[in-house]
Amino acid sequence: MIHYQLRCADDHGFEAWFRDSATYDEQVANGDVECPYCGSTRVSRAPMAPFIASGRAAKADAPAPSDEQPTDIHHMTDQRAQEVAQQILDAVGKIRQYAEDNLEDVGKDFAEEARKIHYGEAEERGIRGQASDEEARELEEEGVEFFRLPGANRRDS
């Protein structure tokens, strides 16, 4: 026996038992299933919303696919978080090293030079230097592309 939530054409909800789904199909097709409220034989199975919701909840509770590749920082162990932090610091160090080896140091004129390059008033080249928060904000507003390295200002202040 299977239990179905049914709904008639007038949106009356009711329940009924059938031997199996084929019997349900047959009885509905023959007009043997009547709405207990209005007698309509135009009935159909009601959407099973509660089951969709429970399915979704079950999915959310599923374990993460792999502990090796955390996608959410909250799932990291302290040690893993420290490793990631160290990798970021290493990467920043490499970028700074690259900048020191390859980019022209314009020091405190960074904002002015970056702006000149942006507007084509100076030769297009890679530069590095220092900028104040206000200068950096102005460059951002003008759409000048630059990168900011964490702690890069510390050395000169």
- By C-beta, is 8 or 131 nearer to Zn ion? 8
How many residues bind Zn ion, per CB under 5 A? 7
Q: Give the residue closest to Zn ion by C-beta.
A: 35
Indicate which single residue of 10, 67, 83, 100 sits in contact with Zn ion (rule: CB under 5 A): 10
CB 40 within 8 A of CB 32: no
106 neighbors 129 (Cβ within 8 angstroms): yes
Helix (H, G, I), strand (E, B) or coil at 96: helix
Closest to 22 measured CA to CA, from 40, 4, 47, 9: 4
Considering only residues 12-51, where is the footprint of Zn ion by CB under 5 A?
12, 35, 37-38, 40
Minimum distance between the CB of residue 47 and Zn ion, rounded to whole angstroms?
16
**Residue 14 CB, nearest distance to Zn ion (Å)?**
8
Distance between CA atoms of 77 and 19, rounded to whole angstroms?
A: 53
Binding segment (CB under 5 A) for Zn ion, from list 6-14, 16-24, 87-95, 115-123: 6-14
5 binds Zn ion (CB under 5 A): no
Six-digit token string for 126 = 């890679």
Cα dihedral 110, 113, 118, 119 in deg (nearest 10): 150
Considering only residues 6, 8, 99, 131, which one is a binding residue for Zn ion as defined by CB under 5 A? 8
Provide the minimum distance between the beta carbon of 4 and Zn ion in the complex, in angstroms, as a whole number: 15
Cβ atoms of 130 and 156 closer than 8 Å = yes
Binding residues for Zn ion, rule: CB under 5 A, are 8, 10, 12, 35, 37-38, 40
